[in-house]
Amino acid sequence: MQFGLFTVSDVTEDPTTHRTPSEAERIQDVLTIAQHAEEVGLDVFALGEHHNPPFFSSSPTTTLAYIAAKTENLILSTSTTLITTNDPVKIAEDFAMLQHVAGGRVDVMLGRGNTGPVYPWFGQDIRQGIPLAIENYNLLHRLWREDFVDWQGEFRMPLQGFQSTPRPLDGTPPFVWHGSIRSPEIAEQAAYYGDGFFANNIFWPKEHYQRLIEYYRRRFEFYGHGTAAQAIVGLGGQVFMNANSQDAVRQFRPYFDNAPVYGHGPSLEEFTEMTPLTVGSPQQVIDRYAAMRDHFGDYQRQLFLVDHAGLPLKTVLEQIDILGGEVVPQLRKELAQNRPAEVPDAPTHAARVAANARGELPVAGGTLEREATATASTASTASTGSAFGPAATKGN
């Protein structure tokens, strides 16, 4: 299991002091948070992508490259790279470069984001969100695996004999998570390629995400990448802790009530009942998150959001101390108990390089591609995911 932090990079007024940090201050705070995550023994730091206030993170790879230079073991990821509005050529180059800078400590989470206006800002149509995600990732997947690519699609200019540079470190592309909070098409896409599926289950009841994850697991097995239990799953979460649970609730309530994402909506009590948000003692957090596999099965990555809604840096660092010192060590033990031997470890660059050398990295389409099914058979499976393969783009 990998444990870590993700940030949505909001620049928000502290409702208890009515002070709003500057963008410069907030950016420096996030750099400090990431480095402290490694100091307390966490595995992953992930940064979102936004192009509108109150968020600052318009260039995650720039920030992650700096963090790479300041850390030694921390895996650096995004907690969304917008596959719909970024050019896949630029994604391929940026993350391959980050791989080299970070010595392989890199993976990427692709998503469509939750800000509608970002589409026209980057010349795209939000009504094409799913087709853009499918086509753009099809190209990105090839750019990392083929030295020279001929390609033609619907949403960008064709490519002829194009090679993205630098090439992926050790000939092994970054591991890809497909993030979604609502779309079975994205779960299908993750399953088709044998990639990971990240359910950022911080907004809705667990039953919604159970359906998405179960669907992804079934389709992962359908494509021949392994059993459903071997599918690679990540989860989001939110916590705020104090030794005394009543004090935690009292301290966090003004931040929750004014949070830019969900403030002025359901009450703190309603939200903690419906979602994984856990406000209380460290033991309450341990109990809540140790039970996640009862709902979603054994999984590989758990990320926590702890720095949002205007919480001051001192408080965030204290929360990270509790995570690293009390919560995560106990969760590692509890989630390792009775973990079936067939459940894979979380992906790392070293493990993927070794698997690549053995010819064991997933093949897009899995069994369907390897068996080169006949046209009639391909047509019969079109509704179950074949649109993610060669038929997804012209001349591919």
Q: Give the pLDDT confidence of 37-53 residue by residue, as tens digits.
A: 999 999 999 998 888 88
Segment of 68-82, 114-128, 180-194, 196-210 carrying the highest mean pLDDT: 68-82
Could you give the percent of the chain with pLDDT greater than 90?
74
One-letter amino acid of 144: W
Q: What's the sign of the alpha-carbon dihedral 263, 60, 36, 176?
A: positive
With 80 as the cut, is the pLDDT of residue 323 above it?
Answer: yes
Q: How confident is the model at residue 393 (pLDDT cuts 50, 70, 90)?
A: very low
Q: What is the pLDDT of residue 122?
A: 73
Contact 184, 116 (CB under 8 A): no
Mode of pairing for the β-strands spanning 301-304 and 2-7: parallel
Q: What is the pLDDT of residue 351?
A: 96
Mean pLDDT of 80-94: 92
Which of 91-95, 152-156, 349-353 comes out lowest in average pLDDT?
152-156
With 90 as the cut, is the pLDDT of residue 381 above it?
Answer: no
Closest of 391, 382, 388, 378 to residue 138, by C-alpha: 388
End-to-end Cα distance, the chain:
37
Q: What is the pLDDT of residue 372?
A: 42
Q: What distance in Å separates the CA atoms of residue 93 and residue 98, rounded to the nearest whole number?
A: 9
Q: Give the pLDDT confidence of 134-148 residue by residue, as tens digits.
A: 999 999 999 999 999
What the chain holds in terms of domains, given with CATH numbers, is 2-392 (3.20.20.30)
Q: How confident is the model at residue 116 (pLDDT cuts 50, 70, 90)?
A: low
161 CB-contact burial (10 Å; exposed 0-12 / middle 13-18 / buried 19+): exposed
Q: How confident is the model at residue 208 (pLDDT cuts 50, 70, 90)?
A: confident
17: left (phi over 0), alpha (psi -120 to 50) or beta: alpha
Q: What is the pLDDT of residue 181?
A: 77
Q: What is the pLDDT of residue 388?
A: 62
With 80 as the cut, is the pLDDT of residue 392 above it?
Answer: no
Mean pLDDT of 253-261: 90
Which of 197-211, 296-310, 332-346 comes out lowest in average pLDDT?
197-211
Q: What is the pLDDT of residue 370?
A: 53
Q: What is the pLDDT of residue 182?
A: 76
Instruction: Locate 379 and state its tokens.
Output: 């047509």
Q: How confident is the model at residue 262 (pLDDT cuts 50, 70, 90)?
A: confident
Q: What is the mean pLDDT of the chain?
A: 89
Contact 47, 63 (CB under 8 A): yes
- Residue given tokens 């940030």 in the structure block: 7
For residue 152, list its beta bridge partners: 394
97 CB-contact burial (10 Å; exposed 0-12 / middle 13-18 / buried 19+): middle
Q: Which long-range contacts (CB under 8 A, 24 or more apart) does 290-297 make?
A: 290/330, 290/331, 290/334, 290/335, 292/235, 293/335, 295/206, 295/210, 296/199, 296/206, 296/209, 296/210, 296/213, 296/233, 296/235, 297/213, 297/217, 297/228, 297/229, 297/233
The more confidently predicted of residues 355 and 262 is 355
Q: What is the pLDDT of residue 44?
A: 98
Mean pLDDT of 371-387: 38
With 60 as the cut, is the pLDDT of residue 374 above it?
Answer: no
With 50 as the cut, is the pLDDT of residue 211 above it?
Answer: yes
Neighbours of 34 (CB within 10 A): 26
Mean pLDDT of 262-278: 89
The more confidently predicted of residues 53 and 333 is 333
